[in-house]
Amino acid sequence: MTTPKLLPVSLVFVGLLLSGCIFNADATGAAIEPQAAARTEPGGLIATEVGQANATIQAIVDLPDKQRTIANTLTAVDDVQWDFIQSVRMEGFLAAVSTDAAVRERGRRIQVETSAWFDELYQNVDLYHTIKEFCEAHPDLQGEDARYRDVLLRDFKRKGVDLAAEQRAELLEIENQLQELGIEFRSNIDEDETAVLLTAEECRGVSESALARVPRKGPLYSVPLVGSAVSDFFAYCEVEETRCKLSIAYSKRGGTRNVAVLEDLLRLRSKKARLLGYPTIADYQTETRMAGSPQRVADFYADLKPKLRRKAEQDLAEVQAAKREHLGDPEAEFHAWDNSFYRNRLMRTKYAVDNEAVRGYFPIASVTAGIFAVTQDLFGIRFTEISDQAREQGRPMWHPDVHLYQVHDAESGELLGEFYTDLHPRSGKYTHAAQFPLRSRKRLPDGTIARPLVALVCNFTKPTADQPSLLRHREVETYFHEFGHCLHSILTTAEYAEFAGSAVARDFVEAPSQMLENWIWNAEVLARLSSHHETGEPLPEETLKGMLAAKNMGSGLSAEAQVFLGTMDMAFHTDADGEVDTTAVRAEVYRDTRIFPVIEGLTSQGSFGHLVGYHASYYGYLWSLVYAQDMFSRFEKEGIMNKDTAREYRRLVLARGGTVEALDLVRDFLGREPNADAFLRELGLEE
């Protein structure tokens, strides 16, 4: 199993990624780890912050009615949440990136306590009635004020404020257990240090440069179960038994314990849904999304599956023929772990593209410079690295790999925001690719603007003494994807943190990031991204032609994998009582959605990190791709580097964030109702 094409913004910790840790610097100015025991207030790690926030909330409630204004009553709720998050967010984030196990554990405890505070906030009956009565007395609210009123009152009800006191207490206990179990589930994946031991013969076909990055245990190679490590074996290892062994081991990250944790999560989520009056947790989750209901998700998949199956059958015939020709065995069966290897082989034999050679044209420094150049030109912005100054100032720089950049508007010079990059794997670190929000844009009570701060966390191959970090073209796509999330967060103009940047409907949040992936297929853009690490030459035109010809090779198989994951996620979360045999359901869904034979008893659901923080939501990747490709169709017509189109996209989509409904963002940019035509073309599914 390779790293999936469609990678998440990290909503595993959204609302929980919580800044205010103590950083020290040594004599060189390099940041060192925060002091893990800096705060030991009784009652919790963030008791001081909780006390301050609660005092502010009580002050809102106690304010005499005749003194109430939008600012000191309605907006004040957004203010107190933003202040609280900022006081604890960075320490919570370190759970995903720190090299210190104690710091990671502290961060996890802070996430639990922070989540508990938010749950209690939205069950505060006095605050709810204060806001409700104020809004009833001011029915003429406009713009973001009106939208915040609607969202805030809705969220109070969705958190159980209308329940009896005993039920509210029960719900709080459920939420606390869910948070504890969710953190354990994610940690069991991120901190799984299982490695597969292989002989040199079992590694046959993998390049010397790739093997040089694999740890050794005596004469054996010890392959860690990290995407950047195993992907070389899936793509190049000639030994099918090795590919099979790695595929199964990779799918078992998190161990059997995670299967039990997941099934506990499902029972608790179902109990929560029933307590709140919903048939299932999927009904609860989709209520506020573009889809609106689990049935619309099911209808989306039902329409798509037969189209995908036709393309998947063509894809399978192509790679299966390649395997049988390669092995000289006309009866050889094809399995999921063969897919990457034979697609890679076809790239060489049919399309004259050597993916390993292509990597040489994408050293990470060149790709980073290219992404910056392209997006600066498109969106009228300017990037400036401030890593050295940040270390001198003692700002959070949690590892030597970390860089920090500022983003300014090119025309006005206005500071728009900042972002970190943390691009290479290490022990204990979050294992996929994600954007972590560290500070949301917001207009503060004094009228000033708090600028967004985000972290781009990836796991691209580390450089060695002899070679820089070289990216596969697919990893360049991942980089663009996460950078799309970054721009969404930083280019927002929302006044409320509630609506800033990527705070949009969950099944739209991937649309801006997926749209930006399209740029990596353009010759003009690739010329700016690529620079061979030895010669400085750009990617050859003939190689690009071959890559473009092969673009939809395997698209049916890849999209079926996405449907499998999304359908499995929904199947887990549409069971009314939450009593789910997840291993049996996984196998059943696999048979229904994948063209490959199922492996009975496989427990890949325990390594599927999206089941925490993205539960009943994974469908959003393909759902949002419909809108991503439709928006990109305007760039196809008007020019992929058309600055006017890009600035309009910045103004109408990125800047507005969640201040309007997602469908209205798309309509306004396209000037028409959206459709799926471009989506189907992208997958090679034209009727």
Measured in whole angstroms, how far is the alpha carbon of residue 71 from the centre of its chain? 33
Which pLDDT score, from 0 to 100, does residue 226 have? 85
238 and 387 both lie in a single domain: no
Ordered DSSP codes for 97-118: H-S-HHHHHHHHHHHHHHHHHH
In a domain, 145, yes or no: yes
User: Nearest CA to 340 among 1, 682, 684, 683?
Assistant: 1
Instruction: Tell whether 77 and 205 lie within a shared domain.
Output: no
Q: Is the predicted pLDDT of residue 682 greater than 50, yes or no? A: yes
> Which whole number is the average pLDDT over 361-372?
98
pLDDT at 579: 96
Look at residue 431 in the predicted model and tell me its pLDDT: 86
CA atoms within 13 A on the CB side of 353: 26
More confident of the two residues 654 and 7: 654
Check whether 9 has a pLDDT greater than 50.
Answer: no
Contact between 231 and 2 (Cβ < 8 Å): yes
Whether residue 432 lies inside any domain: the answer is yes
CA 390 to chain centre: 26
- Could you tell me if 149 and 77 are in contact, meaning their C-beta atoms sit under 8 angstroms apart? no
Q: Could you tell me the strand order of the sheet in which 415-422 lies? A: 381-385, 403-409, 415-422, 453-457, 434-439
d(CA 394, CA 388): 10
Half-sphere CA count of 312, side-chain side, radius 13 A? 20
Residue 601 has pLDDT above 80, yes or no: yes
Q: How many other β-carbons are positioned within 10 Å of the β-carbon of residue 267?
A: 17
The structural domain count of the chain equals: 3
Local confidence band at 44 (pLDDT 50, 70, 90 cut-offs): confident
Percent of the chain with pLDDT over 90: 89
Assign residue 134 the CATH number of its domain. Answer: 1.20.1050.40
Residue 43's pLDDT band (cuts 50, 70, 90): low
Q: Domain check: are 246 and 390 in the same one?
A: no
**pLDDT score at 20:** 28
Contacting residues for 367 by C-beta, under 8 A, at least 6 apart: 471, 476, 479, 529, 530
Are both 542 and 404 inside the same structural domain?
Answer: yes
Instruction: Report the mean per-residue pLDDT for the chain.
Output: 92
Tens-place pLDDT, residues 138-162:
999 999 999 999 999 999 999 999 9
Gap between the Cα atoms of 547 and 541, Å rounded: 10
pLDDT of residue 209: 87
Beta bridge partners of 453: 418, 439
Q: What is the CATH number of the domain that holds 442?
A: 3.40.390.10
Give CA–CA dist 599/196, Å, rounded.
20
- What's phi and psi for 656, nearest 5 deg? -80, -20
Residues 537 and 425 in one domain: yes
Contact 674, 627 (CB under 8 A): yes
The helix/strand count (H/E) of the chain reads as: 26, 10
Q: Are 485 and 371 in contact (CB under 8 A)?
A: no
Could you give the percent of the chain with pLDDT greater than 70? 93
Residues 131 and 243 in one domain: no
In this predicted structure, the answer to whether residue 32 has a pLDDT above a threshold of 70 is: no
Mean pLDDT of 349-377: 96
Q: Are residues 70 and 215 in the same domain?
A: no
Instruction: Let me know if residue 565 belongs to a domain.
Output: no
- What lies within 8 Å, CB to CB, of 77 at 6+ separation is 60, 127, 131, 152
- 527's tokens: 């010329």
Distance, in Å, from the CA atom of 619 to the CA atom of 624, rounded to the nearest integer, reads: 9
Same domain? For 424 and 508 the reply is: yes
pLDDT higher than 50, residue 210: yes
Q: What is the mean pLDDT of residues 606-614?
A: 94
Among 136, 158, 180, the domain-final residue is 158
Give the pLDDT band of residue 227 (cuts 50, 70, 90). Answer: confident
Segment 493-546, tens digit of pLDDT = 999 999 999 999 999 999 999 999 999 999 999 999 999 999 999 999 999 999
Distance CA(420)–CA(623), nearest Å, equals 29
Q: Which of 549, 564, 598 is the last residue of a domain?
A: 549
User: What does the pLDDT look like over 65-102, one tens digit per residue?
Assistant: 999 999 999 999 999 999 999 999 999 999 999 999 99
- Written as six digits, the tokens of 276 are 């709140």
Q: Which of 356, 351, 400, 406 is nearest to 382 (CA)?
A: 406
Residue 280 contacts residue 575 (beta carbons within 8 Å):
yes
> Residue 383's beta-bridge partner residues?
407
Provide the pLDDT for residue 228.
78
Q: Is the pLDDT of residue 37 over 70?
A: no
The phi and psi torsions of 133 (rounded to 5 degrees) equal -65, -40
Residue 396 sits in the same domain as residue 541:
yes
Domain annotation covers residue 419? yes
Written as six digits, the tokens of 489 are 């967060």
Angle of the 255-276 helix axis to the 582-593 helix axis, nearest 10: 90
**pLDDT at residue 600, rounded to an integer:** 86
Instruction: Report strand pairing: 434-439 vs 453-457.
Output: antiparallel
Residues 383, 243 within the same domain: no
Take residue 2 and report the two structure tokens written for it. Answer: 């390779």
Q: What share of the chain is helix, strand, coil (3-state, %, to 5)?
A: 55, 5, 35
Active site residues: 482
* Residue 329 CB-density burial (10 A; 0-12 exposed, 13-18 middle, 19+ buried): exposed
**Bridge partners for 443 per DSSP:** 449
Checking if the pLDDT of 36 tops 70, the result is no
| pLDDT > 80? residue 28 | no
pLDDT one-digit tens code per residue, 449-473: 999 999 999 999 999 888 999 999 9
Question: Which domain-ending residue is among 221, 251, 281?
Answer: 251
One DSSP character per residue, 192-242 reads ---EEEE-TGGGTTS-HHHHTTS-EETTEEEEES-HHHHHHHHHH---HHH
Q: How far is CA 458 from CA 3, 209, 246, 423, in A?
A: 11, 21, 21, 4
Q: Which pLDDT belongs to residue 687?
A: 55
In a domain, 342, yes or no: no
> Tokens standing for 185?
């589930």
Separation between Cα atoms, residue 99 and residue 417, nearest integer Å? 26
Residue 191 pLDDT > 80: yes
Asked if the structure places residue 4 within a domain, the reply is no
**Res 465: pLDDT:** 87
Asked whether the beta carbons of 496 and 441 are under 8 A apart, the reply is: no
The Cα–Cα gap between 677 and 687 comes to 10
Residue 359: strand, helix, or coil = helix
Judged against a pLDDT cut of 60, whether residue 19 lies above it is answered with: no
Same domain for 440 and 528 = yes
Q: Say if residue 374 is in the same domain as residue 523.
A: yes
Amino acid 684: pLDDT: 86
Task: Give Cα 482 distance to the centre of its chain.
Answer: 8
501 conformational bin, left if phi > 0, alpha if psi -120 to 50, beta if neither: left
Structure tokens at 191: 């901190």
Q: What is the DSSP letter of 289?
A: S
Residue 150: inside a domain: yes
Q: Could you tell me if residue 318 is inside a domain?
A: no
Range of the domain at 211: 195-251
Q: How far is CA 481 from CA 10, 366, 534, 544, in A?
A: 12, 17, 27, 20
User: Which is more confidently placed, 41 or 19?
Assistant: 41
pLDDT score for 29: 30
Whole-angstrom distance, CA of residue 455 vs CA of residue 437: 7
